[in-house]
Chain A
Amino acid sequence: MTLSPTPGLAQAILTVGVVLVLAFPLGTYIARIMDGGRSPFERLLGPFERMLLAACGVPRPSDAAGGGQTWRGYASSVLLFSAAGLLVTYAIQRVQWILPNNPAGLGAVTPDSALNTAISFVTNTNWQGYAGETTMSYATQMLALCTQNFVSAAVGIGVMAALARGIRNARSVDLGSFWRDLIRSTVHVLLPLSALLAIVLVSQGVVQTLGPYADVTLVEPITAADGTVTTTQTLPLGPAASQIAIKQLGTNGGGYFNVNSAHPFENPTPLSNLLETASILLLPAALCCSFGVWVRDRRQGFAILAAMSVLLILALAGMWISESHGVPALAALGVDVPTAMEGKETRFGVPASVLWGAFTTAASNGSVNAMHDSFTPIAGGIAMLLMQLGEVVFGGVGSGLYGMILFVLVTVFVSGLMVGRTPEYLRKKIGPFEMKMAAIALLAPSAMVLIGTAVASSLEATAAAAPNPGPHGFSEILYAFSSASNNNGSAFGGISANTPFWNMALGTCMFVGRFWVIVPVLAIAGSLGRKGTVAPSIGTLPTHTPLFVGLLIAVVLIVGVLTFVPALALGPVVEQLRLQTGGVS
């Protein structure tokens, strides 16, 4: 007996539909905001914007200088702003015990964990080495983590807008002002969307209070093995909804609570689940539409969105087949279908858990509503592969699209080689410099994944962090490095990664995965901007056709699969074969 796919399919279609219907108007709006257009929130939010711009010393666009930056200026602003974020986020965690707004009386976060978390949130990874409700005070959650949720996403939007300006420019070094991009995307895009989502989430039961944790009396007291009787349950509360909204929208994914959106206070109902799931893909999808507006050819954005959507649907189908097939060893014990319920919540079941699992690893969100560690092997393996592809199947806010555009350049280049013509993209000749930068940016995270996994698996002390024996233990390590190096942040949660080695190793991966990509992307933007345009000729490969979408998908898959098949074979593939034959470790 197998699980009926009908309700799950309807739910998936509804969720993807919500994303695609909203992506177009939202993408158009974002493009207008980033180009300096008027916002409907001008009266409410305009004062904040003007105050911030003045404080940062950004000239008005109408001024002669305009505040526009070269690619080097833009990149140094990104790096300096991220450095400031790193310091502030680290410091707040270390001193939270003397700050107000800490009703649970939590102590300072350990230095290595605080550094890991600071890198994690600044790089939009939001890997959770810590457990929220037992580690972070209300003040830390708000001041440090909530803020970084916003600004790390805004940095992604900014870098993406700068790349689009580079492509659109002709003989100009001006990529726009990072500070203006940061402020306008935060104030006019991220804040209003998050506020709206947060309020709807509260109505569903997501907690939002500064009051202390609540003690309730158990209806049936519980007797422990040693005979002690417990009569109360302590319920952790806090300003959760405000943070969860931007956590979902900003492809951040760092949960307010330890189990992220599997926690009933973080994701209480199927409706909250729909909104949180759709929010994962909303901005990455919308930015594809923005890109079309920026380069004055909407079809270019739709082509990239189509390639991403095809890859997502393939992954979703694979994960669903694996999960609905379930765990034969449990069926043999007399467990009814769906057998793969370990680590899943009743209100979501297998379909909504698989849907979220595919969305969150396709986008570099990394939040979860079920424990990926307990997924069936192929489902967990596909989640890993989605991250290993470089977080370009939707990916992070901004970062997914600029990552995918690197693959577009590779595709244009490969196609150009095949027919013996100079590659062009959007009226720009693609030269050796762009290709070198694209290769550097695409290969670095993959190298971090494979080298990190190899080192951690071969050291006895670090391999012991994986609690599951056999191939699943290897998968836990591979998943951790795939997640960190590609700035996803989800985990096979059983891994005990809150140790100095793991905090440092994964911290390094997150850092490289973010900035080793951003700098080459901006260099490409600068280089393309300086070039003049060339008129498309009969020999130019159109980049908006189904043929090109197919080529792009093939390039993404070939690069990713060639790099990672050997590693995946040792983990998920071996484990699935054992699952089929009833083998255990």
Chain B
Amino acid sequence: METIRDNVRAAIVAMTFMTILCGIIYPMGITLIAELGFPHQARGSLIERDGLAIGSELIGQPFDGPGYLWGRPSATGPLPNTAFNPTTLTGSSGSNLGPTNAGLIATVGERVARFRSGLGGDAPVPSDLVTASGSGLDPHISPAGAERQVARIAAVRGAEPAKVREILERHTLGRTFGVLGEPRVNVLEVNIDLDRTLGRLGGTDGKAVPSKV
């Protein structure tokens, strides 16, 4: 017959051994398999240019120069697309504003106005371009949102719109198996490709400078 004493002993022993099995052996084993099988993905799917890591395929970066494709608005602090800030200890975040929040409606209104002022046209604006993403790090926008920026990018870079569209298409994915998720364009990959194909832009003034490579 068991006693409370046996039970207490079993609780302590079980918790210790479970911690070793589930908290050390299991995650370390998965880490080992991940490093051997998928080292690129396991370490954050980093993109390198000239030997320098310039981003992750999966994490959005902030772009507001008119020669670049713009991504989703981001509600992270202190800056948009902050994945981790060691000083403020902030990271991924949505706005968490409710659909009847006056501040949300006003902010979206400003974003719509800004988008339309820059060669965006008067048609309804794709919602992904004017609403903050869930993570604040969304790497994608909708194909409609990308198409609406072609005229602006082509004008700033002095390129044919068809050339810009060709670059967009290289970084556009459809629904997986035709049903899963949504069609999307990877903003960072497009911008790196724009710089590579059409010449890098110097800073945020939107003027293209000749590419080094």
**Which chain A residues have a beta carbon within 8 Å of chain B's beta carbons?**
7, 10-11, 14, 48, 51-52, 55-58, 65, 69, 73, 76-77, 80-81, 83-85, 88, 104-105, 131, 133-135, 142-144, 146-147, 149-151, 179, 182-183, 186-187, 191, 194-195, 198-199, 202-211, 213-224, 230, 233-237, 239, 241-243, 246, 257-259, 262-265, 268-271, 273-274, 327, 329-331, 333-349, 351-353, 368-371, 373-377, 467-472, 475, 492-494, 575, 578-579, 583-585
Contacts and interface: CB of A to CB of B under 8 A. Distances in A.
Given A55-B13, A142-B23, A199-B30, A344 B133 contact: yes
Given A150-B22, A242-B31, A216 B96 contact: no
B173 to A, nearest CB: 8
A143 B100 contact: no
A373 B134 CA distance: 10
Interface string B175-213: 110111110100010011001000001011000000000
A205 B45 contact: yes
B155 interface: no
Given A133-B92, A210-B31, A219-B188, 14 more contacts: A56-B10, A69-B2, A81-B15, A84-B12, A146-B23, A199-B30, A202-B37, A207-B41, A209-B44, A216-B53, A259-B93, A336-B125, A375-B99, A469-B101
Interface string B104-139: 110011001000100000011111101111111111
13 contacts: A14-B180, A55-B17, A56-B13, A83-B11, A146-B23, A202-B41, A219-B63, A233-B83, A329-B100, A335-B112, A342-B97, A343-B131, A371-B134
Contacts, number: 415
Interface in B28-44: 29-31, 33-35, 37-38, 41-44
Contacts of A333: 105, 108-109, 112
A269 B181 contact: yes
A7 to B, nearest CB: 6
A207 B43 contact: yes
Given A56-B14, A219-B192, A337-B127, A374 B98 contact: yes
A219 B135 contact: no
A201 B187 CA distance: 23
A341 to B, nearest CB: 4
Given A147-B19, A336-B125, A578-B100, A142 B24 contact: yes
Contacts of B78: 224
A133 B93 CA distance: 11
A64 to B, nearest CB: 12
Nearest to B47: A216
Contacts of A270: 175-176, 180-182
A580 to B, nearest CB: 10
A133 B90 CA distance: 8
B27 interface: yes
Most buried by A among B11, B68, B82, B89: B11
Contact of A345 (B82, B97, B135): B135
